[in-house]
A and B are shown apart, each in its own frame.
Chain A
Amino acid sequence: MNIVVVGLSHKTATVEVREKVAFAPTHMEKPLHALVALDDITEGVIVSTCNRVEIYVTTRDIAGGIARVKRFLADHHKVSLEWLEPHLYAHHGEEAIRHVFRVASSLDSMVVGEPQILGQIKTSYGYAAEYKSSGIILNRFLHKAFSVAKRVRTETKIASSAVSVAFAAVELARKIFNDLSDKTVMLIGAGEMCELAAKHFLNNGVRGLMVTNRTFERAEKLADEFEGKAVRFDDLFDQLHKADIILSSTGAPHTIIGAGDLTEVMRRRKQKPMFFIDIAIPRDIDPAVNDVENVYLFTVDDLQEVVSANLQQRAEEARKAEEIVSQEIGQFFKWLSSLEVTPTIIALRSRFDEIRRAELEKTLANWKDLPPDGQKRLEALTNAIMNKLLHPPTSLIKKAGQGGRTDLYVDALRALFELEIGGAAEEELGELEE
């Protein structure tokens, strides 16, 4: 049995293409049932996120399976296969396993290390489990993918560092204050990045938000939006001591906060630390503010440097993660290969036994003066011959199973002895696996 992956992602298709073949999460039953109803497709899982659409199936015939799934994807979304085909990739065997492990570990994501993808695959698998389109192999496969992703997350620092300026600001604040739940953020001025950073701080549980602007109405509007408190610009220095984290991005041509302004502010705060983030160009806050005791001033450039360093670190961590993925592939592939071994051995044995019995019956039917224990002795003899003959191929294929390389032997045995391996043997094996 082979695992096949067919799909497209942000790497192969633009958003216009991706949205045409996306599956709605609320309507997964039909496509999943249609997928496993295809010829020679035994199990199927559909993963659909805004950055990728992927279908995982198990099939006997790799080339046929890939073609059928591609056709399914085009037909289901009523697009022409000729148009879709150039955007699609298809993997089978070890490559398919590697691909899914990498996707789950967020190594194939647009922002490597982003944490959402694992949850999205889990949800997709949830649908497949609910509508029973996945079976022994894909169940095991995806659970393995989840555990690989978990290993990557705990053993590498791939997701541990901030890769956006807003998030870097939150992380730095934690390095100063530790706990943000009793901290207040003040926004001076407005601007996209400023508001984004404010949102990040609110999501990370700061207690309150103050907004000030030269135009008080704008401050009020923004304060409403964030459920914060508007402060008149003239009252800035009266209120500043209440803020722990200050995000500033006014259009002022000169600095609005100088080091001297902070003496009184710090006295009123009893020297509790302050964290200034200056997003404005030209700067709003005098660089000398950084020299005031217990005050830390960062500009966007400083934060950008943190982000670049983190991105570089992520790239290094990604290499470690790839190694983990490689290790795990071998293990899973071994299991997958071993799935083929037992049914093949069972089929081979029953084929031999069939022949033996048939020939034995023929002989016994015409044998008039058979001694009393003759039948028993003939049974024993034929059995012994059969077992001796079967021993070397059986042990060889079992050994190959442990190395994960069984295709050659399994295919050869099947062709040589015209073995037919039905679902029954595999089901039996599935029970053994449980």
Chain B
Amino acid sequence: MNAILFYSTIAVYLLAMIAYLAYLAKPSESLGKNARRLITAGFIIHIVFTLDRYIEAGHTPITNMHESLSFFSMSVVGVFLFFERRFKILVLGSFVTPVAFLLLAISAIFPTALKPLNPALQSKWLLVHTVVAFFGYASFAVAAGAAAIYLIQENLLKKKRLGGIFQRLPSLNTLDEINYRCLTLGFPLLTVAIISGAIWAETAWGTYWSWDPKETWSLITWFIYAALLHGRLTTGWRGKKAAILSIIGFFVMLFTFLGVNLLMSGLHSYK
């Protein structure tokens, strides 16, 4: 049952991605609507899959690589749907759905078996800490998606190549606004994730902070986004500069999430 839900989600995300890419190539109202229907359906199946796994496992299903990537993918789609509804920018899906699909497809490579929960993770903090962290990551992912489109659009505008693709992508201001909103959503979430992690560490390991690689890199990520937000609010780091920084921030975040777990050993290296 769980496996069926999982592979259905992958399949529906794949279809949604194809629809969104086709929409980017040749926009039409019906295609856009269907693409959104597909990604919404995929998202619902994905939620059902996650809940089903939660019930089966008896704990928050974010305890190994497979589950984490899957949850990350789901959060990305969730944040995307939230912003898509607000800004009515269908074309954002053409950039976000491939990410969601890839994350989920990669998660299938990792062992999917349910294992008894590591005693260190048996805590009510598991739910808060991981869910908040992943929604934070997802916000940064969507911010980076908007930033990538911004860079394309700004480049076309500077070079005065105002043909088809330029017409289809949203205005610079809208993209900058989405980027900013995502950051203002992602940053508090990341902050809460770090604080909740510290509190949990204190109860589990007896210390708030132990410079575990995950902790160190989370802090680096936090500083990058803090600097970016500060720059935006005070000295007008907007547009291109902000776009580049939020893409850099996204890669650092990705390293915090994946690199640390796969390459370094520490308290967080669940595999």
Contacts and interface: CB of A to CB of B under 8 A. Distances in A.
Interface of A: 172, 174-179, 267, 269-273, 290-291, 293-294, 296, 298, 302, 305-306, 309
B237 interface: yes
A309 B172 CA distance: 22
A373 B239 CA distance: 99
A271 B170 CA distance: 20
Contacts of A176: 157, 171-173
- B interface majority secondary structure: helix
Given A273-B172, A296-B157, A172 B162 contact: yes
Given A290-B158, A302-B160, A178 B240 contact: no
Contacts of B158: 290-291, 296
B160 A305 contact: yes
Interface string B127-167: 00000000000000000000000000100011010110010
Contacts of A305: 160, 162
Interface residues of B, number: 20
Contact of B163 (A293, A296, A298, A309): A309
Given A175-B166, A270-B236, A271-B235, 6 more contacts: A175-B153, A178-B177, A272-B238, A293-B240, A296-B158, A309-B163
- CB-based closest 8 A-B pairs: A270-B236, A271-B236, A178-B171, A178-B173, A294-B239, A178-B174, A175-B171, A177-B173
B241 interface: yes
Interface in B48-100: none
Contacts of A309: 162-163
A272 B172 contact: no
B157 A272 contact: no
Nearest to B239: A294
A177 B238 CA distance: 13
B172 A174 contact: no
A309 B163 CA distance: 8
Query: Max chain A CB contacts within 10 Å: which of B162, B163, B177, B240?
Result: B162
Given A174-B171, A178-B171, A294 B238 contact: yes
B166 A298 contact: no
B174 A294 contact: no
Given A177-B173, A179-B173, A271 B162 contact: no
Interface of B: 153, 157-158, 160, 162-163, 166, 170-174, 177, 235-241
A375 to B, nearest CB: 66
B144 to A, nearest CB: 20
B74 to A, nearest CB: 30
A270 B235 contact: yes
A140 B174 CA distance: 44
B187 to A, nearest CB: 20
Contact of A272 (B166, B170, B236, B240): B236
Nearest to A295: B158
A309 B177 CA distance: 30
B242 to A, nearest CB: 9
Contacts of B241: 271, 293
Contacts of A177: 171-173
B160 A175 contact: no
13 contacts: A175-B171, A176-B157, A176-B172, A178-B171, A178-B177, A271-B236, A272-B238, A273-B173, A290-B158, A293-B240, A293-B241, A294-B238, A296-B157
B157 A294 contact: no
A9 to B, nearest CB: 32
B51 to A, nearest CB: 38
Nearest to B156: A175
Contacts of B236: 267, 269-272
Query: Max chain A CB contacts within 10 Å: which of B160, B237, B238, B239?
Result: B160
A291 B170 CA distance: 22
A270 B160 CA distance: 24
Contacts of B157: 175-176, 296
A339 B241 CA distance: 68
A288 B252 CA distance: 34
B264 to A, nearest CB: 37
A172 B173 CA distance: 12
Nearest to A175: B171
Nearest to A267: B236
Contacts of B238: 270-272, 294
A375 B261 CA distance: 104
Query: Max chain A CB contacts within 10 Å: which of B158, B170, B177?
Result: B158
A386 B172 CA distance: 77
B137 to A, nearest CB: 28
Contacts of A291: 158
A70 B177 CA distance: 61
A71 to B, nearest CB: 48
Contacts of A273: 172-173, 239
A309 to B, nearest CB: 7
Nearest to B231: A271
Nearest to B166: A175
B237 A271 contact: yes
